[in-house]
Chains A and B, each alone.
Chain A
């Protein structure tokens, strides 16, 4: 049995070394021009630096190119892939087949991780993308633990699962914040607030608060709670899920660092002896609860929740 990779999302280059020390095995970085909902914006120089730092510490870096692309960006995918390849990224994350097609042409040796966030819902489709060239599939957040375990058992590709943080519920190409401000006649707000990440929608009926922000990829609405399954990792560890992701979007560097340490401890404990993890997991959960921002309740996402249709 091998330990799963602990994958985290740094906000800036400065976070790399501390996160390595905290126990991260790999990082997701990139820029919003190509990647979706990143914790931080890494321009090319930052990408090169982050990769150099991670590699010097024996860690991996995956560059996000998982946006939904329109024609206007198709031509530049090759150039960005060449760049990513030239700085020795360990993998590229894609959702749009245009990236896969371009990678076959200009960077055939580049590892690809398939991630659309919402559509990785069954093992067959994970393997389909594997046959098309992906080495890893990132599962949708909306499937449950049993389905994750079954998918891992049937998978011919690595399986990545988000274990912590908020997830995306919605992406529109429209400028929904800008449109609302314009509708209200608040022209200034459009420029002042549109790009900020401190807004949320209040759903009075459910008592939920959904973070909302805009960027190059449109408007994004995020989950009201943070997934946290620090105390429910045993089945996935047992099944050999390949990568556990902590998504740090809209969180502080300090929070990401602390959470990384706690998951590191959980994984290491389990591999030392599953009983040790069992004994200590409630305490680990309490540690996370202590640092959890007041406006972000923790829950177990869809791991133990059934959806109907």
Chain B
């Protein structure tokens, strides 16, 4: 049997290079985010439709928008997957076939599914669509993967609770594509095995209604006898909490590539375009740099700093490197403000006049130091001088959301580059 490593890298001109580059899979909550994800380097994007997905609060895509997303992605050679990973109730069965036909029509490459009802319905009415098993199945061992492989699935998304060693064994024992999470918020429970929302707020967590009760604080008591309640905390102690830090596996990407993991997934269909652009571009660089020359690879400090610019929680590597302890949870007051704010999206740049045209996304004014980033440029900072509106009227500040503004910039930028400002 070939070792995993053989298939992953080859010696070319005396230098080892990675020949099996994993897919970088990004989230998108709407068309704009999808386009940004693809533009910033995602190989594939997962989105939610209006039904059968798990984020009722996200914008979600109509079938028309899905189609447009698929066509946009195609120009970049990127794929679109649609999350249809609810655990359906009887009442959700009518309409499912039609929805699958709609997805087929729209040209999606795959669906991400937990419920066998949806797996088999898709197989029956839209066999062209790949079926990927959702992390909602909390798939944690190789034998269960073998089951789903025999069921004909193209890919499985593992439970967040799996470690590097476990994934190695899975890859050795079963020939199926494996997708794992690398970045973003995650459940503290085994996914699919939590119904806190159902009990606490009558919202069905496994059909998209999760209200994140695991992020709340609770008081821990011990019951002595039949009615003596003894607090297990002292006055002033932080209450019991089970809120996990967000996942961040940037340091483990080389190991994940060497394990032969097929798809590296970023969480966050509810996140902003700034978040998606930042995270996707960093991981794009990590993957490309490692694959080009794995034996001389080092994580650059600037990549870590870049990721931090859009982080709204502390991050940790979770289960990939072992069972997480208390330091990978958040207790007490743990809100973290993002260190940078997204203030403008580049629409155009005129080389001759050195004039940049932006869409305002947050307040900025002359004198502000801003940073530009994007796939075509190296990050650079700039102090804003005069700002004009579309009609050439000078402004004391860009204060209106989506307002089109212009100012002088001596370095070239490109459409969809972003401008951010330190908080």
Collect the chain B residues with CB atoms within 8 Å of residue A71's CB: 140-142, 166, 169-170
Q: Decide yes or no whether B263 CB sits under 8 A from chain A.
A: no
- Number of chain A residues whose Cβ lies closer than 8 Å to a Cβ of chain B: 77
Collect the chain A residues with CB atoms within 8 Å of residue B146's CB: 101
Q: Decide yes or no whether A291 CB sits under 8 A from chain B.
A: no
Collect the chain B residues with CB atoms within 8 Å of residue A88's CB: none
Contact A122 B194 (CB under 8 A): no
Within the complex, what minimum Cβ distance (angstroms) separates B374 from chain A? 37
Collect the chain B residues with CB atoms within 8 Å of residue A129's CB: 116
Collect the chain A residues with CB atoms within 8 Å of residue B200's CB: 203, 206, 208
Bound Cα distance from A179 to B198, whole angstroms: 25
**A248-275 with Cβ < 8 A to chain B:** none
Collect the chain B residues with CB atoms within 8 Å of residue A102's CB: 143
Q: Decide yes or no whether A302 CB sits under 8 A from chain B.
A: yes
Q: Decide yes or no whether A224 CB sits under 8 A from chain B.
A: yes
Collect the chain A residues with CB atoms within 8 Å of residue B117's CB: 122, 124-125, 128
Stretch at the interface among B8-16, B98-106, B230-238, B294-302: B230-238
Q: Decide yes or no whether A306 CB sits under 8 A from chain B.
A: yes
Bound Cα distance from A206 to B244, whole angstroms: 23
Contact B147 A176 (CB under 8 A): no
Within the complex, what minimum Cβ distance (angstroms) separates A230 from chain B? 21
Collect the chain B residues with CB atoms within 8 Å of residue A171's CB: 189-190, 193-194
- Number of chain B residues whose Cβ lies closer than 8 Å to a Cβ of chain A: 73
Contact A203 B147 (CB under 8 A): no
Q: Decide yes or no whether A283 CB sits under 8 A from chain B.
A: no
Contact A96 B141 (CB under 8 A): yes
Contact B90 A123 (CB under 8 A): yes
Q: A116-B193, A169-B194, A183-B238 are in contact. Are A198 and B88 (CB under 8 A)?
A: no
Contact A128 B116 (CB under 8 A): yes
Contact A308 B144 (CB under 8 A): no
Bound Cα distance from A223 to B337, whole angstroms: 34
Collect the chain A residues with CB atoms within 8 Å of residue B233's CB: 184
Contact B325 A182 (CB under 8 A): yes
CB-contact partner of A98 in B93, B141, B166, B220, under 8 A: B141
Fill in one digit per residue for B399-420: 1 if any A CB lies within 8 Å of its CB, else 0: 0000000000000000000000
Collect the chain A residues with CB atoms within 8 Å of residue B209's CB: 307-309
Fill in one digit per residue for B139-182: 1 if any A CB lies within 8 Å of its CB, else 0: 01111101110000000000101100010011000000000000
**A119-151 with Cβ < 8 A to chain B:** 119, 121-125, 128-129, 140-143, 147, 150-151
CB-contact partner of A308 in B159, B161, B203, under 8 A: B203
Collect the chain B residues with CB atoms within 8 Å of residue A68's CB: 138, 140, 159, 190, 193
Bound Cα distance from A204 to B231, whole angstroms: 13
Bound Cα distance from A46 to B371, whole angstroms: 68
Collect the chain B residues with CB atoms within 8 Å of residue A119's CB: 87, 114-115, 192, 206
Contact A70 B140 (CB under 8 A): yes
Collect the chain A residues with CB atoms within 8 Å of residue B115's CB: 119, 121-122, 125
Collect the chain B residues with CB atoms within 8 Å of residue A309's CB: 56, 86, 203-204, 207-209
Within the complex, what minimum Cβ distance (angstroms) separates B14 from chain A? 37
Fill in one digit per residue for A155-188: 1 if any B CB lies within 8 Å of its CB, else 0: 0000000000000111111111101111110000
Contact B141 A173 (CB under 8 A): no
CB-contact partner of B147 in A101, A150, A169, under 8 A: A101
Q: A129-B116, A172-B190 are in contact. Are A293 and B237 (CB under 8 A)?
A: no
- Chain B positions within 8 Å of A, measured between CB atoms, are 56, 86-93, 114-117, 120, 138, 140-144, 146-148, 159, 161-162, 166, 169-170, 188-190, 192-196, 198-200, 202-204, 206-209, 214, 216, 218-224, 226-227, 232-233, 237-238, 240-242, 244, 319, 323-326, 329, 331
